[in-house]
Structure 1
Amino acid sequence: MKLFVSSLAITAVTVSSAAFAADPLHGIQQKWAKCQYQSKDKDNQVYCFENLIDMNTKSLNEQPDRQDLKVWLAINKSSLAGAKGGLGALSLVKEAKKLLEEVIEKAPETLDGSAYTSLGSLYYKVPGWPIGFGDDKKAEQMLKKALEINPTGIDPNFFYGDFLAEEGDKKQAVIYLTKALNAPPRPDRPIADQGRKQEISQKLGELK
């Protein structure tokens, strides 16, 4: 893997550093959106997520009781795994799974149940035994629990719709993906909303 710093990566770090001064969570969320949706290629994206994980870990070490920071560390590890791909990413998703299970045990409603959404997505995206821990039944349980806590949220509706699409239930998938597309905007996360809606529109296009 090539390691280099693009102008985008530098900009992302600068913006996040300013946001970190106010609240590390806000900075982490903003940089994640840049890493996920604005990286110019996979190498840049991997570098961006690795840098963000370092920042997230430092913030969590400084405030170990912040369950929201723990959720986001799991999200960032999962995102890095997605960027890297292959069996080498399995250790990252296992680390993410452990973090999310800890949050669910201690404070399950953190960030409107985001731990359930993230863990549910891992259960249907990660290969099953003997390679990984993937489990479609557990995925559905987690995603439905996330929707109980946050029924109108863009992410729980998107991931449940995506799960249903992978299960072959196109009709229900379209229903939940449409709910995700029409979810209330998150004023503090415009880049994330824009990127997610592009994903939703693409998925709906594939189903119709």
Structure 2
Amino acid sequence: MTKLIFTTLIWASAFVVHSAKADFATDLHTVQSQWATVNYELVDDSQLDAFEKLVNTTAEFTKANNDQAASHIWYGIVLSSYAGAKGGLGALGLAKDAKAQFEQAMKIDAKALDGSVYTSLATLYAKVPGWPIGFGDDDEADKLFKQALALNPNGIDSNYLYAAFLFDERKYSAAKKHLLIAQQAPARADRPKADLYRQQEITALLSKVDKKIKK
């Protein structure tokens, strides 16, 4: 019940998309903040309902800022996160839509948001099933992660997500190296909630990595 009430409160204040470019940063921050809440603090049906609403509002935001790489990046992040929460083959369409958004962002400015489009697309390639079901490709994921790290070597997301990929590839020592870098990443003043939960993920994965290394 608490989760459902919380979900209602999140969406009680309407997300307003501003067309003026001066308001782009404000709208982007709204998307980022709402994503952190939905992704980390909601579960089950309440999370899926909130993601569906966030997909719709982020679509409006991206349409109003079609020439901005960051809007496409975050639309892709919301779509891919919704796909991950939804799971199953039904999520593949969302993953394909996310891929299209990331590819559009690359055409506009691949270095936007410290090259986070590379990290996001790499994660998508790593998580989606491979051929013939989907477009997943571990080799492509690894290449994209390395491009992300070339642009943002000390970033919390670029290092954590690459570490998660390396863990799945059973490359535990390499995973630990990137987790330790992620752990020391500079705090993002505009994204405290995302940093808080990401650091919890880093700590949890470090524990798993250390157990694997000690075996």
So what's the TM-score if we normalise by structure 2?
A: 0.89
The CA deviation at 1:14 is 4.6
Structure 2 unmatched ranges of 5 or more: 211-215
Q: Look up the match of 1:133.
A: 135
Please report the RMSD computed on the Cα atoms of aligned residues, expressed in angstroms: 1.8
Question: Alpha-carbon deviations, 1:18-75, whole Å to 9, x = none?
Answer: 8977721010000000001111x21111111111111111111122112111100000
Structure 1 unmatched ranges of 5 or more: none
Q: Look up the match of 2:213.
A: none
Residues 1:205 and 2:183 are matched in the alignment: no
Residues 1:175 and 2:173 are matched in the alignment: no
Q: Look up the match of 1:8.
A: 6
How many angstroms apart in 2 are the aligned matches of 1:101 and 1:134? 15
The CA deviation at 1:11 is 2.6
Q: Look up the match of 1:86.
A: 88
Asked if the contact 1:70/1:100 (under 8 Å) is kept, the reply is yes
The CA deviation at 1:184 is 0.6
How many angstroms apart in 1 are the aligned matches of 2:199 and 2:93? 29
Moved over 4 A (4+): 18-22
The one-letter amino acid of 1:130's match is: P
Counterparts of 1:1-208 in structure 2, within 5 Å, are: 6-14=4-12, 17=15, 23-39=26-42, 41-208=43-210
Asked if the contact 1:33/1:192 (under 8 Å) is kept, the reply is yes
Asked if the contact 2:145/2:158 (under 8 Å) is kept, the reply is yes
Q: How many residues align?
A: 203
How many angstroms apart in 1 are the aligned matches of 2:76 and 2:169? 25
With over 3 angstroms needed to count, the CA separation of the structure-2 counterparts of 1:49 and 1:174, relative to structure 1, is same
Asked if the contact 1:16/1:31 (under 8 Å) is kept, the reply is no
How many angstroms apart in 2 are the aligned matches of 1:16 and 1:144? 38
So what's the TM-score if we normalise by structure 1?
A: 0.92
